[in-house]
Amino acid sequence: MVSVTSLKNRKVIADKCSVAESFLDRLRGLIGRSRFVSGEAMFFPRCNDIHMWFMRIPIDVVFVRPATGEQGTYEVTRVCESLKPWKLLPVRSGRATETIELPVGTIQGCDIRLGDRLCIS
């Protein structure tokens, strides 16, 4: 588990963030989950697109890439609020290298914007 914090306002975005490193973790993601609560997140390294097939719940998604300077710091390249389950087309950011999935309302509640810097540690 890692935590995700905004460097803009020092707000903790997620203090219970799972890292999907293995093939099975990446394949499963949030599929089958019926709830995703504030403070939780899922981080997908080396991933710049997601799908919503077989998902039961809507989610917020933040696409990031490593920021220059400090290790563990990422720049937001795209935000997608309230993605609906079973969306057929993939959602992606060509500029991103990693993806963070969050509970609906997190992007707005934490004021996450394009270009913001996040610390993942």
Domain ranges (residues) in the chain: 2-120
pLDDT at 50: 93
Q: Quote the mean pLDDT of the chain.
A: 94
pLDDT at 6: 98
From residue 104, how far is each of 55, 81, 88 by CA, in Å?
13, 7, 19
pLDDT at 30: 84
- Tell me which residues of the chain have a pLDDT lower than 50: none
pLDDT at 24: 83
Q: Take residue 37 and report the two structure tokens written for it.
A: 């609560």
Q: pLDDT (tens digit, 9 = 90+) per residue, 45-72?
A: 999 999 898 899 999 999 999 998 888 9
The CATH class given to the 2-120 domain equals mainly beta
Find out whether 13 and 121 touch, Cβ atoms under 8 Å.
no
